[in-house]
Chain A
Amino acid sequence: MSEYFQMGGHGAYVWSAYGITLAVLIINVWLVRVKRRSALLRAQELATQAEVPRKQPTVRRLQ
């Protein structure tokens, strides 16, 4: 078993490469989740506020 993990002396390289890749995937999933959650919270905040009437376009006289 330990022979398997040594990977013919290259174990350190192979396992750390897989470890980094796994870490990058986990970080990405976590970052997306944080972004999504804060966007939804913000949307909830906006939804509880009274509906703001649409801004009327201002009319400007051409010079």
Chain B
Amino acid sequence: METTKPTVVVIGNGMVGYKFCEKLVAKSKDFNVIVFGEESRIAYDRVHLSEYFSGKTADDLSLSSSDWYKENGITLYLGDPVQEINRTAKTVHSLHGMAIQYDYLVLATGSSAFVPNIPGVEKDGVFVYRTIEDLELIQSYAGKAKRGAVIGGGLLGLEAAKALLDLGIPETHVVEFAPRLMPRQIDDVGSKMLQYKLSQLGLQIHLNKNTSSIEGNGKIEALQFADDSKLHVDMLVISAGIRPRDELARLSGLEVGSRGGILVNEKLQTSDASIFAIGECALYNNMIYGLVAPGYDMAEVVAANICGGSKSFTGFDMSTKLKLIGVDVASFGDPFISEPECRSVIFEDTHKGTYKRINITQDGKHLLGGILIGDASAYNMLLQTVNNKIVLPPDPEDLILGSRGGAASEGAGVMNLPDDALICSCEAVSKGAICAAVTEQNACTIDQMKKCTKAGTGCGGCVPMVKDLIAGTMKSQGLYVKNVICEHFDYSRQELFDLIKINGIKTYDETLNLYGKGDGCEVCKPAVASIMASLWNDMILKQDTIQDSNDRYLANIQKGGTYSVVPRIAGGEITPEKLIALGEVAKKYGLYTKITGGQRIDMFGAHVSDLPKIWEELIAAGFESGHAYGKSLRTVKSCVGSTWCRFGLHDSVSFAIEIEERYRGVRAPHKLKGGVSGCIRECAEAQGKDFGIIATEKGWNLYVCGNGGSKPQHAQLLAADVDKETCIKYLDRFLIFYIKTADPLTRTATWLNKMEGGMSYLKNVIVNNSLGIGAQLEAEMQYLVETYKCEWKEVVETPELRKRFNHFVNAPVEKDPTVKFESMRAQIKAVEW
């Protein structure tokens, strides 16, 4: 039956040619599809071509596989360009001599880089930026180059320039003929801001420069400009625009535009009704669409029409976002329209390097277009507002400044879009389709959504919006978003805590086998580690690789990869001998020293391999771990209290030390801090801590759930005028209750804020023992207190554990050579990132 199928021949296996095949076979299997490609590779993602330089391989960029073509019955001839079309016989003829008869012919020949006729362009070291081969050539030449330039300051030129920088060319220039960068997308002020941002990245920009010749003996040595100036470079990438590949069409007598491009109507038919042109080779309405999304749209129109549909191409929005790493640039709608046709709202922050302009109709109702530099986070929303003619709020400046004081959240904005709003323009997925995928196909993650609808699989620019839509739809469906730990466990921390406890589970692997799926991650591993530490108090390094990095190395990792060392100085009290010992160790290992905000001494800049040696000396001098690295008790801050202070009511230092030693090493969902003050003047700031104790005439007041940090909160009174023993009893109960029930990484203040019933409920459980678990909570704390061991002491004494503190496994004596310090006020300091 093969022979009766009509034959569709596609010339060009680029992005659009491939998309056409994909769409056609999805709609119908009743065609015999034959594809000719000039490049030797299967269609690849040209849009992300630059990522080839950051490690992506040609395979990664590939859009499909030869198997895919086979499975779909498509014959693919690669490295075999079509050289002739015989329109009367309806045949195509390829370089290698294939002759194929077609019923429908689709030209998807794309475009090539436009190379202006500058004397010297043929010299070595001059490149264009279009194919993987181009990039391979650039990469191999770049190794020898010290100064590179790009001609063309448009979207592609800037991308190429960034690529040269990333290839390690120390000096990279951009030469633009126009008086501004990205002249087709942004205005003068925007261009100045962009220029400033790019110069920070290390690019040197030259505007108003007309290159008159390329100088050099065989290979490029300099650019000569019309204004008589000169720029010495040893490598050049020309990115001066694109030229549609219409040579085959021209040769076959198809009509082409005066400045190139194959003429097509709204059905994308050329002047020969059985021949179509799509993608960057097609000239529609005097316009070449140099972006991938309109090309995909054209592919859809032709595929649908061949299958009997009647779709039309009616032009496409050319809004763009530059995907240069490090600089946000976007332009949408009509970026240039100005007074009196519209009102422009402009926001400029020269300090931060942001420029935002929106153009609004005179009546203030609609958005016409705009420009975003430095911060393009509003791009998707603004683009939707233009495309869907959404009526603007009374204060349209909120669109770029963010609402100040208003309650409208960004998520709500997305949900207000009409159903036909195009969210993913690469794959033409509407808001309606995305919401339907959530409600009907239960696509609740971005990965599932990509699979169901393909939204977000193209340039990826719409992903944040798609996420908001998923969340918004789930919420409007009343879907319960369960507070699970992560994708690997369908349980909350509290549920998991109970499961682990009741079943006596001792390892993470067992937990994952019994209650989880997948291989775990950086969220559930430390959460389970913390649960097990709180329950069993086993040596942390028994399961070292499920610990957060700081717990794994029993020290806090610092900028540059060195560690800090914080021995416990309980209550902030320290003898002169111990002070001297700290000073000696710091001197010996070249450490920076500082008094912390927690009344102790921190020593920074230790190499990982020095840690066991440092701790060996500290332990010999009577110190122990300060657990500054753990989600565990940090410090119990004290004031000097009744031993010296003329106002002191009780001995706050002794009590602070007693408590710090009681709870040292106890692991919790987050860190714990305490304080003990000798009177109501509160010099220990106890009410800013997770637990705070203040001396009264009759005993001690116990406060809980205070917090410093970014959202400070005062602790609240749990019990008044209690004696020491009662105070400790309540503290035991309080801490274990918190450890058992809080979500991961939730401080006591946040835990209380989320607790139903709040402080009165907590008081009931802890003080009135309303749940009858008081004794059990105390016993569990007592177990932790009795099983405490200094982790560092164990490491120092155990050779196998010491061995884990090396930078290189195959060169244990060598330190990380990339660690670098600077000096400041006679001490070391990590170098800036």
Q: Do the two shown chains form a genuine complex with each other?
A: no
